[in-house]
Structure 1
Amino acid sequence: MSIPVVTVGRSSEDLVGGLERLHGPVSVVRRCSELAELLAACQSGLARAAVVAEGSEELSASLVDRLSAVGVAVLALTDNPAEMTRLRGIGVVAEFPGVDAAALASLITGAVAQLSGAGPRPALGADLAFTGAGTALRPSDGGAGRSQDGSGAGQIIAVWGPAGSPGRTLIAANIAGELAAEGNSVLLVDADSYGASVAAMLGLLDEAAGLAQACRLADQGLLDGDALRRIATPVAIKSGTFRVLTGITRADRWTELRAAALSLVLDRAREVADVTVIDTGFCLEADEELSFDTMAPRRNAATLRSLEVADTVFAVGAADSIGVPRLVRGLAQLEAAVPQASPRIVMNKVRAAAVGRSPERQLREAWERYGPGMALSGFVPADTAAADAALLAGSLLLETAPDSMLRRAIANLVCAPAQRNRKSSVFSSTAKLLSKG
């Protein structure tokens, strides 16, 4: 069956004629005069592939993502090597204008197969190289430091929790600090589209909205490792340094955090940092269920995409009669929205005043009886004095309260004590430490 194709650009005349003379795998169903017309034709279900012969500079990661969402593969022709690199970085199959019709048809067929899942599909942002007529697309060998899936070797940790201030930001920021103190290169990302607060917690100026800047560059295919390092704000601590991509300065700027652009930012983060820690928002609602325009930006896209790409997800809940039920309901939503998440569940703000004597034991027993079937992984004690001191100083617990139970419990979630005993849970040392209190 022939693949329907739409084209745009004056130079597409010869291109269209060559494809039509093949009488084979592709057929041109519309010649568009501008990119907006091509987008409308693709969203109407007219085509499976779009060939941009002119005007490729208007293509962005978000636009490519919109076309991919309706099953349309995007190819562009350009004789500018820099533009070709940019296009490949945002998921476009790019080739020189002189490509012959048979080779272009092969490119179209391969791109559509990859998009539909019939062939191996590289990660968004992975470079694609043309290997000659009649051959398929393959990821290029460029991009040092990338793993086989097209991204860097760095790990991503997402810290999520339901509504009600369970302590996501406190735990995310201090996890980043503890990992940096262990000698890792760390990037802390504030992806909360409702109430970004990492900058305030660390005493940073947040007018710049670092994550929004990175997403803008990524959307245009211009974000590389050096650019990401320049945008991220360095934070010096006594035993190391980590970088921060500050969040949006106002909640109404959520449209700047598009899923496709954020994916590219996190791909670059894997390349430049050993560990990326993401402070996510609370809401997991699928916005498209509430809107007739399925192509519109998504308010919760930043949170959902962060959870989708994370290697480890910490689900944080407040250990009280309101926070625990919220966490139970939130975990059900998380499982439905991101089935692959497999969260590590952490009870935060644990205190006898809210739970009763032996709060860890009581919480564990109640969770086993009424919880969602996922085991509790650990407990973080309430320590208002230590948390307030750190917030007042615009610093981390390892600097303002290094010997506090709160700091030790957070450190043991990810750092050396757990790593030395790999046969046990990463939270076992935390539980033992807390049981002594």
Structure 2
Amino acid sequence: MSIPVVTVGDAEEDLVGGLERLHGPVSVVRRCSELTELLAACQGGLARAAVVAGGSEELAASLVDRLRAVGVAIVALADDPLEVTRLRGMGVLSAAPDVDPAVLAAKISEAVALLSGTGSVTQFRQDSGISDPGASNRIRMDEGADVPPASGTGQIIAVWGPAGSPGRTLVAINIAGELAAEGKSVLLVDADSYGASVAAMLGLLDETAGLAQACRLADQGILDSDALLRIATRVVTKGGTFRVLTGITRADRWTELRAAALSIVLEKSREIADVIVIDAGFCLEADEELSFDTVAPRRNAATLRSLELADTVFAIGAADPVGVPRLVRALSDLEHAVPNASPKVVLNKVRASVVGRSPERQLREAWDRYGPSLRIEAFLPADAGAGDAALLSGALLLEAAPESALRHSIAELVCARVQGKRRSSVFSSTARGRVKD
């Protein structure tokens, strides 16, 4: 197999000469003077591999992802241990600057094999996917206080739903709080690129956009568990403590949440938390159809990548004549946008005043008749009093309204201890604050 290679860097003369004298499968087709020229050559389909012989410190995760999107593997020459570690964090193979040409050729072949999926090493975990359509072509915070240690194999829960304020953020922050109260190490991530609101709902005076900070470090290849712990804000509640990566402070900052960087952030998050709860945006639009530049930043990359990597997806819909049809259409869009997602349907704001008597039964019958094959996992009752009390105080339901029907219903979604006591209906007349049929 012939592997055309482009190179960049001061050492390229010796490098190119050594590779050419091998007369092997690796052949240098272009010598570039800078990374932008190398990127342009790769996007033109000139090469299958790129060797960065100098200036590897200019490599960022977003650039690496753009090269992978056009099928180009990367090998960088570096001898500084810190730089080698940084490159490895981005999935870039490295070799010493004085590497033997035969060894370098083998390294290039290995990188190409890994990118094409024929290699045996799972180095490229942050590969381009649905959220990157181009794939188809220290002020230390107090870390120990009250936060349970993580197991290192964290599970990702994404809370998603269609437009129209079905209650995604309310459900997400209270899932995080309930899991923390169960003794789990929890990280709450606000990945809504249109209207981030986790910080406001929790009463956090935060203008730093923690997720954007983490993505910035990830893009530079220097994000580690300690840095992520420093960036995340600790939220202390009566039930337990969890951490939060706050969202972007303005919608026009969406370009800071790139798919490649977010993948690294979520991968690192698994190391510091037992459960990562993501408040995802609503839009699944394949916006590559609106642009010829298939490697440009994607407005919906944060939402799509979160859903791709999630172990569990809760699809939240408002239980009314407008919200239910929206959810049905959105689930169809989700199936096409993220085929591997298996959402759990949750109907929120359930109330007899807009559904009629026995609202749970009527919603089930309507869903079975007109909805998709997915079953309804849970009903969350409308509880304006509890929600308003929590919003006014910037607190969770378990603090502001611990005995509310809504709080108990959200807890039943994720807490096994509560699930064991599940009532037959969220509208049981014996439950305080529940709507009677």
Same fold per TM (> 0.5)? yes
2:122 corresponding residue in structure 1: 122
- CA deviation map 1:249-274 (0-9, x unaligned): 00000000000000000011000001
Indicate how the Cα distance of structure 1 residues 368 and 123 shifts in structure 2: closer, same or farther if over 3 A, else same. farther
> Take 1:215 and 1:380, find their aligned partners in 2: how far apart are those partners?
33
In structure 1, the partner of 2:321 is: 321
Name the residue aligned to 1:138.
none
Distance 2:188 2:124 in 1: 22
CA separation in 2, counterparts of 1:419 and 1:386?
A: 21
Tell me, yes or no, if the aligned pair for 2:412 and 2:419 is still in contact at 8 Å.
no
Residue 385 of structure 1 aligns to a residue whose secondary structure is: helix
Q: Among 425, 431, 435, which residue is 1:432 paired with?
A: 425
Q: Once the two structures are superposed, what CA deviation does each residue of 1:51-78 show, in whole Å capped at 9, x if it has no partner?
A: 0000000000000000000000011001
Alpha-carbon shift at residue 430 of structure 1 (Å): 5.6
What are the Cα deviations for residues 2-30 of structure 1, in whole angstroms up to 9, with x where unaligned? 10000001201111111111111210000
- 4+ runs of 1 displaced by more than 6 Å? none
Say if 2:239 and 2:398, in contact at 8 Å, map to a contact too.
Answer: no
- Asked if residue 232 in structure 1 is aligned to residue 232 in structure 2, the reply is yes
Distance, in Å, in 1 between the alignment partners of 2:419 and 2:349 is 24
Question: What CA deviation, in whole Å up to 9, does each residue of 1:85-130 have, x standing for no partner?
Answer: 001101111111122111111111111111112223525469xxxx
In structure 2, the CA distance between the partners of 1:336 and 1:125, relative to structure 1 (3 Å rule), is closer
Q: Is the 8 A contact 2:379 2:426 kept in 1?
A: no
User: What secondary structure is seen at the aligned counterpart in 1 of 2:425?
Assistant: helix
**Residue 292 (structure 1) shift:** 1.0
Q: Is the 8 A contact 1:167 1:318 kept in 2?
A: yes
1:133 matched residue in structure 2: none
* Uncovered stretches (5+) of structure 1, i.e. residues with no partner: 127-150, 422-428
Instruction: Give the drift of 1:286.
Output: 1.2
Amino acid at match of 1:340: N
The CA distance in 2 between the partners of 1:120 and 1:285, in whole Å, is: 34
Q: Which residue of 2 aligns with 1:132?
A: none
Q: How does 1:32-47 map to 2 (within 5 A)?
A: 32-47=32-47
Q: Shift in Å at residue 287 of structure 1?
A: 1.3
Q: SS where residue 340 of structure 1 aligns? A: coil
Q: CA deviation at 1:416?
A: 2.8
Question: Separation in 1 of the partners of 2:428 and 2:64?
Answer: 53
Q: C-alpha separation between the residues in 2 aligned to 1:94 and 1:420?
A: 52
TM-score (norm 1): 0.91
- Contact kept, 8 Å, 1:199 with 1:247, in 2: the verdict is yes
After the TM superposition, which of the residue ranges 88-97 and 117-126 deviates more from structure 2?
Answer: 117-126
Contact 2:401 2:407 in 1 (8 A): yes
Aligned-residue CA RMSD (Å): 1.4
Q: Secondary structure at the residue paired with 2:427?
A: helix
CA distance in 2, matches of 1:152, 1:299: 30
Q: Which residue of 1 aligns with 2:6?
A: 6
Instruction: State the identity %.
Output: 75
Residues 97-176 of structure 1: matches in 2 within 5 Å? 97-120=97-120, 122=122, 124=124, 152-176=152-176
Q: Aligned letter for 2:291? A: S
Q: 1:285 is matched with which residue?
A: 285
Q: Which residue of 2 aligns with 1:135?
A: none
Query: For residues 227 and 123 of structure 1, what CA distance do their matches in structure 2 show?
Result: 22
- Distance in 2 separating the partners of 1:20 and 1:364: 69
1:124/1:418 Cα in 2 relative to 1: closer, same or farther (>3 Å)? farther
| Letter of the structure 2 residue corresponding to residue 85 of structure 1 | T
Compute the TM-score of the two structures, normalised by the length of structure 2.
Answer: 0.91
1:53 counterpart letter in structure 2: A
The answer to whether the 8 A contact 2:381-2:426 is kept is no
Number of residue pairs matched by the alignment: 406
Separation in structure 1 between the aligned mates of residue 42 and residue 361 of structure 2, nearest angstrom: 57
